[in-house]
């Protein structure tokens, strides 16, 4: 079991930096306090002055201009993007320049990053559409059972 945890990267505590401390970002920071061990938020950034200096859990929100410096000094490995779509690519570029190795993107756009930076997109709408499909009564039970959990259903 320990070997599997090591292969999956669960044998260490990953250091995350959040960009965008609105409703979603704040919820992510609060949630992290209750999660058992594989990650910790070590930095949070926002561009709105009213959020700068606010403490959420163990993290104080810093201005986005401090990102390059703080990503390096806090050891952020993964950037989490929770900003409006029109800001997401700019934020991703800033995270890449600062040295992150991975990005978890909650913005509903496709990011363009260098090949050495891994990007995972969290698409709430798509996951909800899959659930709608599974719950639709007009589908036959036999047809629905062939769709594996976690499958992506392509739009027409």
Q: Is the pLDDT of residue 156 over 60?
A: no
Please provide the size of the chain in residues. Answer: 156
Helix 67-74 / helix 85-98 crossing angle, nearest 10 deg:
50
Non-local CB neighbours of 97 within 8 Å, separated by 6+ positions: 68
CATH number assigned to the domain with residue range 2-122, chosen from the 4 options 3.40.50.10490, 3.30.1490.20, 1.10.10.60, 3.40.50.720: 3.40.50.720
pTM of the model: 0.81
- Tens-digit pLDDT profile for residues 23-73: 999 999 998 766 667 889 999 999 999 999 999 988 999 999 999 999 999
What are the start and end residues of each CATH 3.40.50.720 domain in the chain?
Answer: 2-122
């Amino acid at each position: 079991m320990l070997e599997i945890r090591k292969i999956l990267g669960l044998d260490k505590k990953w250091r995350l930096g959040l960009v965008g401390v609105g409703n979603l970002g704040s919820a992510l920071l609060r949630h992290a306090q209750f999660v058992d061990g594989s990650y910790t938020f070590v930095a949070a950034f926002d561009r709105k002055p009213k959020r700068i200096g606010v403490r959420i859990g163990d993290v104080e929100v810093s201005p986005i201009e401090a990102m390059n410096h703080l990503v390096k000094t806090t050891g952020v490995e993964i950037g989490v993007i929770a900003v409006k779509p029109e800001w997401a690519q700019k934020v991703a570029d800033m995270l890449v320049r600062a040295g992150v190795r991975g990005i978890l993107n909650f913005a509903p756009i496709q990011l363009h990053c260098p090949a050495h930076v891994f990007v995972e997109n969290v698409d709430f709408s798509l996951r909800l559409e899959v659930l709608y499909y599974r719950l639709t009564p007009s589908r036959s039970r036999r047809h629905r059972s062939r769709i594996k959990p976690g499958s992506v259903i392509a739009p027409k």
